[in-house]
Amino acid sequence: MELRDKVNAAIKQAMRDKAAMRLSTLRLVNAAIKDRDIAARGEGNDQGVDESEVLGILGKMVKQRRESARTYEEGGRLDLAEREVAEIEIIEEFLPRALSGDEITAAVDAAVAEVGAESIRDMGKVMGALKAKYTGQMDFGAVGGMVKDRLSS
């Protein structure tokens, strides 16, 4: 089942269950996907966004909520921080399992070998290969440092 269909099915189930918090979060996810679909159509892509872009949207939403939760906690607004954390848990249900440290290291090594990267100049190629295969499964901000270290040595 396509990710977009899973979100729509979850929305319907949340309506049946009268789960207001879950429903509002899922509607935000659906709106973000539809918004990106509209933007893609404006760029000439009549099909809308594909599965990897949907994963990217979900990953971005999780990252935004983590930053918001951290800001709320620093500001002493624990009620709002808890809401952000609850939204993260709902969104993460649709993301693939995050890779462990060893799996990330193996993926970086495989991507370096795949693109034939030899220097730091090839970092973009390596990151592109990783994003194509592992969107939603790793934090590319942290992985960028690993790739840089790997190519520097």
pLDDT at 31: 93
CA 127 to chain centroid, in Å, comes to: 15
**pLDDT per position as a tens digit, 109-152:** 888 888 887 878 888 888 888 888 887 777 777 788 888 888 77
H or E element at residue 38: helix 20-42
pLDDT value at 5 more than 80? yes
Closest CA to 143 of 113, 116, 123, 118: 123
119: left (phi over 0), alpha (psi -120 to 50) or beta: beta
Q: Which CATH number fits domain 3-92: 2.30.30.100, 1.10.1510.10, 3.40.190.10, 1.10.357.10?
A: 1.10.1510.10
CA 8 to chain centroid, in Å, comes to: 18
Rounded CA separation 95/78 (Å): 26
> Span 11-39, mean pLDDT?
92
pLDDT at 37: 87
CATH 1.10.10.410 is held by the domain 101-152: yes
Return the domain boundaries, the chain. Answer: 3-92, 101-152
Tokens of 10: 């979850």
| CA-based torsion, 109, 110, 111, 115: positive or negative | positive
Full-model pTM:
0.72
